Structure 1
Amino acid sequence: MRRSWVWDLSGYTRMSRRRSSSDHHNRLPSWRTVASPRFSAGFARARSIPLKWKILLLLLVILLLISPILIWEPHIEISIYDRKWVKEEVEDLWPISTCFDHRRISPHYNITKSLLAPKRTQVHAGLPLRLGMDCYNFAGTVHPDEHPQGWLPPDQRTHYHTYWRTDLAPFSERQEWLLKSFFATQNVQTSRLILWSNGDLSGNEVLQKWLKWYPDAFVLKVVDYEQLAQGTELANSELLRVKDTKAWIDGDLVRLLVLWAYGGVWVDMDSLLTRDLSPLLEHEFVTQWDCYDKLYVPFNGALMNFHKNSPYLCEAFHIMTTSSPPRQGTTDWGATLYLKLWRRLVASSVRPFSVLPWCFSDGRSCRLDNRLPDPFQPDPRNGEWTFGLKMEEGGGLDRVLSSQVFSVHLHNQWTKPFPKGGWVERLLLRRYDQKLQRSPSGRKIRRTL
C-alpha cells in the first residue's frame, strides 16, 4: 500500500488510492485532476479541434508576439543606482568654495569677458530638441565668424587638446583622421592642436609629417599630472596616483587638468570635426550626453571648452578632493561630476557653464528617426537618411554635416572600418583630403595623401 496526492480543483480534497503493479516503477507520485463537468466538456471540445487549426492558432500567437520586433527596433535601457550614493553624491547640495571669489580668481582668467559680457551666439535651446530636425536646425543658427582673425603666434592661439594612450594601440591612419578633420575645418592661423599622450610619440611616422607641415599649429606633449595640477587643490594629492580607476585618470582627469593649465577646447580622439568651432568659443561649455535626459549623467566631456585657470575647473577640483573616490568603471568624476558642479553653481546663484545640445557633437545619440546614420554601415539602397532627406552630395545629410553640426563622435569603435563609398567616406574623409590639398601646405600634403 502506498499513498499519493490527488489534486481536486473543486475542493482541494486529499484522497488516496492503491497503486497498481504497473505503477511501481514510477518514482514520482501519481497525479490526476478531478475537474467539474464544465471543465471536462471544454477540455473535450479542445481535444476535438483539428490539428491544422491548432497549428494555425500557434502560428498566429507567435506572429502576434514577434510583430512588434518586425515593426519597431526596441531600445531598452535599465539603470540601477544605489539610493545611498544618489543621496550623498548627487542630491545633497554643498555650497561652492571660494573659487569664484574675485580675490582668488587668476589674472589669466578674464571674468568680465568670460562671465559678464553679452554673447553673440546662443547655445542653450531651452528644449530637449528630440523632435524631428529641431536640434540640427538649432545648430544651424550658430553662424561662422564673419571676420576671422589673422595669423597669431603659437602661444596666443586657441589651444585644442586631444589624448592618445600609447599603451592602448599604435597611433595609425585611423587616429590620423581627427588630425585631418582639425586641419581641414579649423583656422590653422589662429589655432593649435596639442596631442597629449602617456608616452613619447615623437618617433611616430604618421605624426612626424604633420609636425613638419604645421609647425605652428601642431605639437606633441606627454602628460605630467603633478605639473598640470599645480595651483589646484589636486596638487600633490594621492588622487593623481590612483591605480584602480584608470577610466578617469586617463580620461576625465587629464582633460580637466590640461584645460586648467592651458585653456582651450577638448576634443576626444574618436571624433571627426565638421565645422569651425570658433563661433562657440565665447562660451565655456560641456556637451549634453544625448537626447534622453539621463537623470544622473546628463553631461558629456567629449567636446568641452574652458579658459585657462577657469573658476569652473577650480570648483570641479574642489569637488573631487571633497567627494568620495570614484567607483571602478564609472563616470563619477566625469558626467556626474559636471552635474554636481552645475547644481552647486546655480544653488549659489553663480551663472553656470553652457551646455551644447546633443547633436552639436554627438548626433548619433538620439531617437532612431533622427540620429545620424550609423558610420559603420553601408548607405541604404534608396539613398535616404530620414524624413526623406537624401544622403548624396548636396543632400540633406550633407547640409547637416557642413553647416549645422560641429562634430561626429564615433565612440571608440576603432576596429570598425568605414564602408567603401559610405557617407563618412564621401561627405567627410574625401573632403578632408581635398581641402588639405588646397591648403598653404598643400604641395607637401599632396605628395602623401
Structure 2
Amino acid sequence: MPRDSQDYKKSSRLPLIPLLFWEPHIETAFYSRQWVKEEIQDLQPLAGCFDPHRVSPAYNFTHTRNQQQVHAGLPLRLGMDCYNFAGTIKPVYDYPTSHVPADQRTQYHSYWRDDLASFSERQEWMLKSFFATQNVHTSRLILWSNGDLSGNEVIQRWLRRYPDAFTTKTVDYELLARGTVLSGSELLRIKDKKAWVDGDLVRLLVLWAYGGVWVDMDSLMTRDLAPLLDQEFVTQWDCYDKLYVPFNGALMHFHRHSPYLCEAFHIMSTSPPPRPGTTDWGALLYLKLWRRLVASSLPPFSILPWCFTDGRSCRLDNRLPDPFVADPPSGQWTLGWGREEGGGLDRVLGKVFSVHLHNQWHKPYPNGGWVERLLLKRYDERLRRRT
C-alpha cells in the first residue's frame, strides 16, 4: 500500500478519538413553520366546560380544583406555557389567629460565606424580598454563615424589626450532621473558593436538621411560597432538558429528617468526593437520587418547572429580560415583553416565585430598569406599609 494511503487511513481515525472520551448529544428535526403557527402557536379559548354551572354533578369539581399541581410533566418550552402554568397555582390564605412561636413556623434558610465577601446592601435585597413576599407571622428566615453575622449593621436592622421572623446562625457541620452517615466524616470539611460545594452541603444539612425551604442568596422572591409547601421538591435547571444536569437546588423544600435527604447523604458518602467548583453535590446528586428512587419503585420528590425560579434560562423569545441590562428606549422591540407597570413582564413576575440571579454580585441593577421598577421599589413600598 502506498505510504500516502496509510497516512490517510491513520488521519481518518483521528476525528473518532474524542468520541472515546466525550458523548455528543445532537438532535435535528424539521417542521413546517406554517404548521407550527397554525397547530401549536395559535391558542384558542376554552369551551367553558370548567364553568361551575356546566360541570356535571357526577364530577367532584371542588376536590379537583383544590389540588395544586406543581409539576406539569412537560418541559414547558413553548411560548408562555411555563409562566401560565405557574399562574394556575393559587395563593393560600390561612392566617393564624394567635402568635406562632419561631421554632414552629415554616423555616426558610439561606447561606452567606462572610469570608468571601461582606454582607452589604446588595445582599440585603434578598432579605427585603423575603419580608415583602412571605407571611412574616408564620415564617422565619435563618441566615446561615461560616461566621457570626449578627453584628453586621445591615442584618441588625432586620433582626430588630422581625425578631420572630429572622435570625442568624453559624454553621456547625458536625452538629447539623447528627443522625446521618456524614457524622464524623472528612467530607464535612470540604470547601471551594466559589462556595459551591460547601453551599450545596449546607443546603442539605440545614434542611435535615430543621426542615423547611432553602433559598439561594442570589434570589429575589416574588410570591408567597405557601401553596408549594405540601410537597418536597427541587427545581428544574432550565428549559433545555439537559440530560445529565436537569435539577437545581436554588429553591428546594424538604421536611426535617426526610428520607430523601437520608438517601442523599448515603450517595455523598459512597461516591467520589465532589470536584471543586462543580455541582457534584447539587444537580448531579439530585439526579442520582431521583433515578435510584424510581428504580426502587418509590415516589420521587417533585420538580418545579424552570420558570418558577429561573425564568432567565430559556430561549430568547420567552426568557425574562436580563436584569443587569438597561431597558431599551420606549417603542423599541423587547422580545414581546411589555415592561410597563401592568404589562406582560409585570404579570409574569406575579406568577413566578423568584428570580434567580446566578451569583452575578458584581453587576449593578440599572437605574430605572425593570428590576428596580417592578421588584425593588415594590419591596420597599410593601415594607413601608407594614411599619
TM-score (norm 1): 0.70
2:120 matched to 1:172?
A: yes
State which of 344, 351, 356 in structure 2 corresponds to 1:409: 356
User: Cα 1:81–1:398, aligned 2, differ >3 Å: closer, same or farther?
Assistant: farther
Residues 291-340 of structure 1 deviation map (CA, whole Å, 9 limit, x = unaligned): 01111111000000000000000000011111111123221111000000
2:178 matched to 1:230?
A: yes
Q: Which of 1 and 2 has greater Rg? A: 1
What is the RMSD computed on CA atoms of the aligned residues? 2.1
User: Cα 1:202–1:362, aligned 2, differ >3 Å: closer, same or farther?
Assistant: same
SS in 2 for 1:201: coil
Aligned pair count? 328
Q: CA deviation at 1:146?
A: 3.3
| Residues in 2 aligned to 1:265 and 1:333: alpha-carbon distance in whole angstroms | 18
| Residues in 2 aligned to 1:326 and 1:246: alpha-carbon distance in whole angstroms | 13
2:69 matched to 1:122?
A: yes
| Residues in 2 aligned to 1:235 and 1:246: alpha-carbon distance in whole angstroms | 24
Alignment of 1:27-426 (within 5 A): 120-150=67-97, 151-243=99-191, 247-382=195-330, 388-402=336-350, 404-426=351-373
Residues 88-141 of structure 1 deviation map (CA, whole Å, 9 limit, x = unaligned): xxxxxxxxxxxxxxxxxxxxxxxxxxxxxx983101111111110000000000
Q: Contact 1:245–1:326 at 8 Å: present in 2 too?
A: no
| Residues in 2 aligned to 1:233 and 1:320: alpha-carbon distance in whole angstroms | 9
Query: Which residue matches 1:92?
Result: none
| Residues in 1 aligned to 2:304 and 2:68: alpha-carbon distance in whole angstroms | 12
| Residues in 2 aligned to 1:423 and 1:183: alpha-carbon distance in whole angstroms | 20
User: Cα 1:244–1:416, aligned 2, differ >3 Å: closer, same or farther?
Assistant: closer
User: Cα 1:81–1:266, aligned 2, differ >3 Å: closer, same or farther?
Assistant: farther
Residues 204-250 of structure 1 deviation map (CA, whole Å, 9 limit, x = unaligned): 10011100000000000000000000000100111112356874542
Q: Contact 1:383–1:392 at 8 Å: present in 2 too?
A: no
Q: Contact 1:266–1:303 at 8 Å: present in 2 too?
A: yes
Q: CA deviation at 1:81?
A: 10
TM-score (norm 2): 0.81
| Residues in 2 aligned to 1:208 and 1:172: alpha-carbon distance in whole angstroms | 12
Residues 403-425 of structure 1 deviation map (CA, whole Å, 9 limit, x = unaligned): x1000011111111111111000
Q: Contact 1:369–1:386 at 8 Å: present in 2 too?
A: no
| Residues in 1 aligned to 2:322 and 2:105: alpha-carbon distance in whole angstroms | 34
Which amino acid in 1 is paired with 2:138? Answer: T
Unaligned runs of 5+ in 2: 1-17, 24-64
Identity %: 77
Unaligned runs of 5+ in 1: 1-78, 85-117, 443-449
| Residues in 2 aligned to 1:222 and 1:126: alpha-carbon distance in whole angstroms | 38
| Residues in 2 aligned to 1:83 and 1:149: alpha-carbon distance in whole angstroms | 55
| Residues in 2 aligned to 1:420 and 1:332: alpha-carbon distance in whole angstroms | 37
Q: CA deviation at 1:148?
A: 3.4
Q: Contact 1:247–1:330 at 8 Å: present in 2 too?
A: no
SS in 2 for 1:364: coil
Q: Contact 2:113–2:195 at 8 Å: present in 1 too?
A: no
User: Cα 1:385–1:375, aligned 2, differ >3 Å: closer, same or farther?
Assistant: farther
Q: CA deviation at 1:385?
A: 7.4
Q: Contact 1:164–1:196 at 8 Å: present in 2 too?
A: yes
Q: CA deviation at 1:147?
A: 3.0
User: Cα 1:289–1:425, aligned 2, differ >3 Å: closer, same or farther?
Assistant: same
SS in 2 for 1:136: helix
